[in-house]
Chain A
Amino acid sequence: MIVLGVALLAACTLIGVYLGDLLGQLLGVKANVGGVGIAMILLIAARLWLSRRGRLTRGVQFGVEFWAGMYIPIVVAMAAQQNVVAAMSGGPIVLIAATGSLILCFGAVALLSRIGRRDPGSAVVEHGGSVIEGDAEPAPVGRPAASLAGKE
C-alpha cells in the first residue's frame, strides 16, 4: 500500500530528527545534529531490510518515490521564500565573506574530488536521478503509475 511507503518515510524522518535533537542535547548544542542524515541512513537500512525479505512492494516504493520526485518543486518553493532582499542589501562585508568562502570551498571540492579514483556512477545512481528529477520512468520492477489504479 502506498500509505505504508509514506508512513515508513515519515517514521524514519521523525526518528532521525528525534535522535538528532537528542545528539544535540548530549553535545550541549542548541541545534539538531545530523537529524536528517540519520533519517536518510534509517531509510536506506529499511529499504535493504524490506527488499531482502521481499516486502518492498510497488506501493511502498511509490509512496517514498513520490516524495523524492517532489524534491525539486519543493526546492523551488524554498528558493521562492528566501530572504533575497536581505542578501542583496548586506553590503561589502557580507559579499566579501560569502564570496570568499564560496570560492575557497569550491576549490576544496575540486581538490577532494580528485582524491582517489573517479567513478562514473552505477545504474542505481542513474535510476535515482530520474526518480528525483520527477520522471515517473519505469523502475526496475515495472511502471508504478499503471498499476496504481487497479492494485491499491
Chain B
Amino acid sequence: MDHTIWHGIEHVFVEQSLVAAFAVIGGLILVSNYAAKHLTNGRVHGSAIAIVLGLVLAYVGGLYTGGKKGLADIPALAGIGLMGGAMLRDFAIVATAFEVDVIEARRAGLLGVLALALGTILPFIVGTLTAVAFGYHDAVSITTIGAGAITYIVGPVTGAAIGADSTVMALSIATGVTKAVMVMVGTPLVARLIGLDNPRSAMAYGGLMGTVSGVAGGLAATDPKLVPYGALTATFHTGIGCLVGPSILFLAVRALVG
C-alpha cells in the first residue's frame, strides 16, 4: 500500500518535472529563510543558506547517483536541471537588467573592462604556476589547467583547441567547477572586506570572478540589488577567456616553456 502511494507520487514528480522543481526549490527557500531569521538572527542572507543547501544536496545527489548533475540526476528531481539550467538562468539574468540604473552602469564601464582583463590574466597565471609546481612541463597541459582556473568552460574549450589529453581536461574542468563553487560560498563571507556593496564594485567583481554561475550565486547570496551589475560584466568573461586562451595565452606559455 505504502509502496503504491510512493510510486504514484514519484510518477507525478517525473511527469511534472518543472512544476515539481518549482515546489521543491520554493520549499528549500522557505526553510532557508526561516533558518536565516531564527537561527542566525538575520545575519546571514536567506538566499546564501539556500545556495549552500543546494550545493550540499548536489553533493549528496552526486554521491547517490554517481552522475554529474547533482540533484538533477535523480529522476523525480530532473526538473531542477531545467529550472537551473543555462536557458532559464540566462533568461532570468537578462530580466534583472530591467532594474539597472543606466547612469551607474555607464560610470563603471571602464572599470568593468579593466576588471575583465585582470580577471582573465590573474587566474591564468595562478593556474599555470600551480600546474608547473605539480610537474607539468608541456605548454599544452600548462595552458589547459591555467585556462580552467579562468572558468570551467574556458578550460575545456582551450584544451580542445590545442589538443590536451583527457586527464588534463578533467583537471581543468574540476578547477573551474571548484572555483565556481568557492565563489558562490565565499562571496557573502568577504563582501564587506572587499567593498562589495555598490554597483561599481559589483561590476569590478563580475569581471574579475568571471564564472557566470559563481557570480550569479555569489551576488544573490550577498545582495540581490548588485546582481545585474555583476552579471553585465561577468557574461563577457567566458567569451573573452575562450578567445585569448587558445591564442595569446597559449602562445605566451609556449614561448616561455619552449
Contacts and interface: CB of A to CB of B under 8 A. Distances in A.
Contact of B99 (A36, A113, A128): A128
Contacts of B130: 93, 96-97, 100
B224 interface: yes
Given A44-B100, A82-B58, A94-B174, A126 B50 contact: no
Given A31-B157, A36-B235, A109-B201, A67 B95 contact: yes
A93 B184 CA distance: 20
A128 B174 contact: no
Contact of A33 (B80, B178, B240): B240
B196 A71 contact: no
A146 to B, nearest CB: 20
A149 interface: no
A46 to B, nearest CB: 9
B9 interface: no
A51 B170 CA distance: 49
Contacts of B56: 84
Given A83-B69, A113-B194, A33 B96 contact: no
Contacts of A129: 99, 223-226
Given A44-B97, A93-B134, A72 B196 contact: no
A24 B129 CA distance: 29
B201 to A, nearest CB: 3
B188 interface: no
B203 to A, nearest CB: 9
B169 interface: no
Q: Which one of B81, B130, B148 has the highest number of Cβ atoms from chain A below 10 Å of its Cβ? A: B130
Interface stretch (B36-44, B84-92, B248-256): B84-92
Interface in A63-87: 64-68, 70-87
Interface string B79-114: 011011100111111111111111111010001001
B13 interface: no
Contact of B194 (A23, A79, A109): A109
A41 B102 CA distance: 10
Interface of B: 21-22, 25-26, 28-29, 47, 50-59, 61-63, 68-72, 80-81, 83-85, 88-105, 107, 111, 114-115, 118-119, 122-123, 126-127, 129-131, 133-134, 145, 148-149, 153, 157, 160-161, 171, 173-184, 186, 190, 193-196, 198-201, 204-205, 208-209, 212-213, 216-217, 220, 223-228, 231-233, 235-236, 238-240, 242-243
A118 interface: yes
Given A31-B157, A80-B71, A73 B95 contact: no
Contact of A40 (B122, B126, B195, B228): B228
B91 A10 contact: yes
Contacts of B51: 75-76, 79
Give chain B's interface secondary structure class: helix
Contacts of B226: 129
Contacts of A107: 194
A113 to B, nearest CB: 3
Contact of B84 (A23, A75, A106): A75
Given A36-B94, A122-B104, A132-B99, A71 B186 contact: no
